[in-house]
Structure 1
């Protein structure tokens, strides 16, 4: 019996080893695009393990490090000047006709007509995971003309969706930033299944896993409003708040060699509780700028912007 089991295991291991050798041989003989395809297939398998809720955190950290060695991720970086370490947005605030509000830990460009932030920018960095208790409620922002109240969202069918997240503000920037994230100028109407689902998953991934993998991570995000479909609103006419049709998020990090890399997501506004394949939401920064009407990194040269913004990232990190 033991011999039979041993023989079966030996044959299985031999087949796996042979398959691995064949894959490596095909990889070595392939061109760049074919190699990227092979890497993506392997990383799909890695993702199935590291994105499983039952996988231990130590294993996830190890697999994250393994994934970052694949050229499809590691080589997707370009040369650029060093970003301003003190700024929430790495290469200048997004350009657009919005009210610029500076808060502890984050900044927003607020739209006084639609009563939402058109963009929010913040930076996260390695932390100890310590933060204060969640504030009890949202507050109007006295710096705005409309001073939208939290009650506008009550019974609307939408959550008050943070753009600069409560958790990241608390663990990275402290109590003042965490409390400031509950200003009404930092929230948009967001379906609960997205706010507490995929959007939250991405926020936590950035604040927890990406800071451990990459150190500092800059985040710029905001809503998308359709130019072809009828606008949807919640609240009374004088302070009605427009409901987004989608949301975008752009992340940027620096490699140890001083190069920058970025990834941009476009998330439809629907109930998405969880999705292991973030790569399905990848878009170019150019596409984000087209949809949002913003110039996201105005201090970068046109040459660097062109290299950074024209194409989507090869794969989600």
Structure 2
């Protein structure tokens, strides 16, 4: 079958798209278009009313800023084991949500993928190479280790989609942030039975983007909120980019209200107002026994020391 036009020099892409669209309308019967529209609508309803609510607690985060501001726009992407509120404008996930339960002891350790992948759902098509030479790591928001342990190989591969990735300084990504990720899986989840985690970047002026890619904005800091749904207790952190990595975790404790003020996001809005206000204003490290892990080194840092100590 031949498409009834030729691509000639000087013809605009918009004109070509219009011609192709008219050709498709003539080729495909109206009933097929109607069926496709109905199926697309049904899928959208399923995503918004069934699938996404099951993968969050007390409502998806929503923007508090004026929706006329592109910086606050995001689209919800559903992955295996976690949700992403992705900003095509910033080239970052504005929030990521996942549920953690206590991990099995001596569970299988899956091999880490060797690179990060462009997400076909993203409009800006960030690539693995965009981070090269930038001085920033590919920082996971849904963590590779916890998601792989609890949800399997497919979920782990989803954490390597670049819609789950944001620029992090090496000392933050490999040390302090990694320690916090360990604490949420190995300490907070067993203590609470299960936890919901909300995490993402914090942006403040002036705007800065990766040198190799204008598509990716560089955050100033990162937040993480951990919630025990049965107790309706939360613990929250905001960590800046410039850290040494050995700082105590409790140095970065904040309230959920503080996270909301700095991100412009509204969390847990389906709670009744009194319960929401109480939980979001509270800072209670004692409930979580944070002091037990506040100074604990991360597993990768411990491994580096063990290897170094074994050398002659």
| Alignment partner of 1:295 is 2:270 | no
Contact 2:131 2:212 in 1 (8 A): no
Contact 1:114 1:241 in 2 (8 A): yes
145, 161, 165: which one aligns with 1:167: 145
Contact 1:131 1:175 in 2 (8 A): no
| Alignment partner of 1:92 is 2:70 | no
TM score, norm. by length of structure 1: 0.68
| Alignment partner of 1:104 is 2:80 | yes
* Residues matched between the structures, number: 227
Structure 2 CA distance for aligned equivalents of residues 306 and 201 of structure 1:
29
| Alignment partner of 1:202 is 2:177 | no
1:230 is aligned to: 206
Contact 1:131 1:174 in 2 (8 A): no
Q: In the TM superposition, what are the counterparts of 1:40-79 in structure 2 within 5 Å?
A: none
Contact 2:52 2:83 in 1 (8 A): no
C-alpha displacement of 1:312 = 2.4
Structure 1 CA distance for aligned equivalents of residues 211 and 126 of structure 2:
10
1:245 is aligned to: 220
2:12 is aligned to: none
Contact 2:86 2:94 in 1 (8 A): yes
Structure 1 CA distance for aligned equivalents of residues 215 and 126 of structure 2:
8
Contact 2:223 2:237 in 1 (8 A): yes
1:309 is aligned to: 280
Structure 1 CA distance for aligned equivalents of residues 135 and 200 of structure 2:
20
Q: In the TM superposition, what are the counterparts of 1:134-213 in structure 2 within 5 Å?
A: 134-213=112-191
Residues 241 and 85 of structure 1: CA distance in aligned 2, closer, same or farther (over 3 Å): closer
Residues 215 and 184 of structure 1: CA distance in aligned 2, closer, same or farther (over 3 Å): same
Q: In the TM superposition, what are the counterparts of 1:28-47 in structure 2 within 5 Å?
A: none
Structure 2 CA distance for aligned equivalents of residues 91 and 272 of structure 1:
35
231, 251, 268: which one aligns with 1:259: 231
Structure 2 CA distance for aligned equivalents of residues 185 and 102 of structure 1:
11
Match of 1:203, SS state, is helix
Stretches of 4+ aligned residues off by more than 3 angstroms: 84-88
C-alpha displacement of 1:214 = 2.2
C-alpha displacement of 1:86 = 7.7
Superposed CA RMSD: 1.9
Structure 1 CA distance for aligned equivalents of residues 194 and 52 of structure 2:
9
Deviations 1:276-298 (A, max 9, x none): x3222111111101111101112
Q: Give ranges in structure 1 of 5+ residues lacking alignment.
A: 1-83
Deviations 1:19-43 (A, max 9, x none): xxxxxxxxxxxxxxxxxxxxxxxxx
103, 109, 113: which one aligns with 1:131: 109
Contact 1:116 1:241 in 2 (8 A): yes
TM score, norm. by length of structure 2: 0.69
Structure 2 CA distance for aligned equivalents of residues 219 and 166 of structure 1:
14
Match of 2:54, SS state, is coil
Contact 2:74 2:85 in 1 (8 A): yes
Q: In the TM superposition, what are the counterparts of 1:15-34 in structure 2 within 5 Å?
A: none
C-alpha displacement of 1:195 = 0.2
Q: Give ranges in structure 2 of 5+ residues lacking alignment.
A: 1-50, 64-72, 291-312
